[in-house]
Chains A and B, each alone.
Chain A
Amino acid sequence: MSGDLLGWWGVPLAVLAGAIRVSTPFLFVSLGECITEKSGRINLGLEGTLVMGAMSGYAVSYLSGSPWLGVLAAGCAGAVFGILHALICSLPRVNDIAVGIALMLFGIGLAFFLGKPFIQPQAPNLPSIPFGWWSENAQVRDALRVNALFIIGVILAPFLLWAFRNTRWGLILRTVGDSADAALALGYAINRVRMFATASGGFLAGVGGSFLSLSYPGSWSEGLSSGQGITAVALVIFARWNPMLCFWASLLFGGAAALGPALQSVGITQGYYLFNAAPYMLTLLIMILTCSRDRTLAGAPGELGVTR
């Protein structure tokens, strides 16, 4: 069987491959934001963290020769941004959303500034795992070449769901996020828990950023991110603060984003830009269908709000 013979079957295959590829940064950023929001804070700065992670991951991978060191560096850069956000937000009368926007702009600007020398050189990329080895077909083999970070994300999502329910840290995190009164009465240091949560969230967002620059085709440029960080924050709300739903939402979003290129590959070029807008239209549509005038969002952490 040759690639051409696959014909229309190439479309769902390309969508699947695209879903896995595109969803990886969404998955990491949304899992990170899920942890942060479970503690009762919103970190809108994750777009900046993502770009910062992409830059620092690429730089460290290039300088050290190890892409995994790059991923670690990206995570640490993200954690630093998270700690910065948490520190500023723990001051009295500081609004977490405003701080997040400021940090988003700061992160993007800083990454562009520090990343200038790394636009040209080629850094080693992350490996991917060839799940398509059994097939003779090049298209199938390509589509089933799954990057290693996605696998980690697939394991991380159910682990987080389990940890929220079955570990001390999970219970404390949910307490702080759902009722500050209860946390105070139990004697937990609210700001410290939120600091930990925001730092972990930043770490994961940084790792998500390193995927952008270290996975195939693997390069660092200023146009690398197209708002994945911000979109992932919206995905968390869409996923009702449930890590497994974050995973499915990321896949859905990635699949929708891959629709345009997939159709183009079988020769349908009409409405290409319209298909590119599919993920956003899909999100909007699902949001409209699932919201209700006389019901508050179920599952929202009680301390989450815009009026502080």
Chain B
Amino acid sequence: MVMFVPDPAAPPATGAVSLEALGMGKQFGALKALDDVTLKVEAGSFHALLGENGAGKSTLVKCIMGYYTPDQGQVMVGNHEQPISSPRMAHNLGLGMVYQHFTLVPDMTVAENLVLARTDLPAVIDWKAEHAGLEAFFATMPFRVPLDRKVSALAAGEKQKTEILKQLYLKRRFLILDEPTSVLTPAEADEVLGLLRDMTKAGQLTVLTITHKFREVFAFADNVTVLRRGKFAGSGKVADLTADDMAKMMMGEQKLPDPAPRTGVPGEATRLAIQTLNVSDDAGNPAVKGISLQVRAGEILGIAGVSGNGQRELVEAIAGQRDIKDGAISLHGQSFDGSRKAMKQHKLSCLPEEPLRNACVAKMSVAENLAFRRFDEEPFAAGGWWLKPGAFKEAARQIIARYRVKTPGPEAAIGQLSGGNVQRAVLGREIGGEVNVLVAANPCFGLDFAAVADIHGQIMAARNRGAAVLLVSEDLDELFELSDRIAVMFSGRIVYEDAIGNADLTVIGRHMAGH
């Protein structure tokens, strides 16, 4: 039996292959997601694809992989035109992709996931031989993941490493990565990207990576192509370009608002206090392990950490979405039970991650969603039960105008809005009024530069007005820009805490990795 031939249908040739996408176009309804885009990637190069959200990067690579059928354009692999109509065909040509969402099967072990991806999967699997093959492969890799662990029990960073190892195990000749480092610590990112760069240098692999981190572009990429609003916006050798050049290509002539000024110093009074808090995750395992922290008025406490280290459970516990196992949360020195009444009394606002899922009802209108905190009081309701749609719409119009929410109108279902606009609408609802305590989790995830600057400004403004802000984020740049104090969360515990003036990127990175 053939034991270790990952891809027999691939052309006999191995090693890096070049790829060109010529004049690609793709229309989704009224939206032109891709408009005559050309991308050329040389064999054995490390190519970065840059662009803001909605620029068409993911659409382009999904067209190349056969996930979408492009309306125009053609794909050349190794100078031969190839009609790729399904991911299977792309795999057979030696093309592989690591998607932004994980494509591992959670209920299977790492070994099962790797073997499953083989195109020549035998009818009955000889696990002994497969394990031997996997061990032999892992011996050639600089990092490894536990083979017999179920994927659902892996940390996010390990899952991402597994995705990449899976593609290498399949001996891909051209590998596409969609923001591969968003769940890795800086050191892990260097490890993974370094391995891929070495493989390109050795002529084993060509890499095309979607990213928005200039640091990684300068450290690893040879060439760069930039997209803006579905169109080609520029390309070149990384060595010939500066960060400003690339930013200009990405954004065009659009001007960024200045960073929000930080005014005043944190007050003395502790607004939010958490005392040896323990919280379980969905599987009943401890996720938050004895965390204590305090946030004062007019202070932003930033919590850094790789996703999946208990941040989500911590935020859900404070927002009243998750039961507390033991420990206590108190606001203004009073015990807080997560009820709507207590939130109102203490003016607690929450900006959870994935706001469409965690803070909105997608099928209800923008106006209704914006009134969630106050829909049963004057002026929205008479006597606490007779709702007045006119008042909903009027209040919604003000928030829509003030926070520049792009929506067909207050009547539109909030689920129709783009991610950035949902984020802005929820921000408007949560910090439009008076705020004493604000909890924000990855508030700018997936937003473009302009929206990010906008939301950072609003959070800073809330702090300057005297709110205590707990900012949980996976984006270190964001934390360094906004925080007064920074803490690092690892494996459910706070492992580091200091004023932002004393904090150092490498020290924080080390703590994020648990060292």
Contact = CB atoms under 8 A, between A and B. Distances in A.
Interface of A: 165-169, 171-172, 174-175, 178-179, 181-182, 184-187, 292-296, 298-299, 301-302
11 contacts: A165-B112, A171-B112, A172-B116, A174-B105, A175-B105, A178-B108, A179-B105, A294-B284, A298-B283, A299-B107, A302-B107
Interface residues of B, number: 31
Which secondary structure characterizes the binding site on chain B? loop
Given A167-B125, A293-B323, A295-B284, A186 B107 contact: no
Contacts, number: 75
Given A187-B88, A295-B284, A296-B283, A174 B108 contact: yes
Contacts of A166: 124-125, 127
Interface string B127-155: 10000000000000000000000000000
Contact of A179 (B106, B122, B125): B106
B393 interface: no
Contact of B282 (A182, A186, A296, A301): A296
B121 A179 contact: no
Contacts of B171: none
A141 to B, nearest CB: 41
Given A175-B116, A295-B282, A168 B88 contact: no
A301 B107 CA distance: 8
B172 interface: no
B103 interface: yes
Contact of A174 (B67, B99, B107, B323): B107
Contacts of B122: 168
Contacts of B116: 171-172, 175, 186
Contact of B125 (A171, A294, A302): A171
Contact of B105 (A182, A187, A295): A182
A166 B123 CA distance: 9
Contacts of B322: 294
Contacts of B88: 187
A175 B104 CA distance: 9
Contacts of A182: 102-105
Nearest to B66: A187
* 6 tightest A-B CB contacts, nearest first: A295-B284, A187-B88, A185-B103, A182-B103, A178-B107, A168-B121
A184 B104 CA distance: 11
A292 B285 CA distance: 12
B104 A171 contact: no
Contacts of A186: 87, 103, 116-117
B271 interface: no
A168 B123 contact: yes
Nearest to B65: A185
Contacts of B115: 171
Contacts of A296: 282-283
Nearest to A292: B284
A165, A185, A187, most chain B CB atoms within 10 A: A185
B87, B107, B122, B125, most chain A CB atoms within 10 A: B107
Contacts of A171: 108, 112, 115-116, 121, 125
Nearest to A169: B123
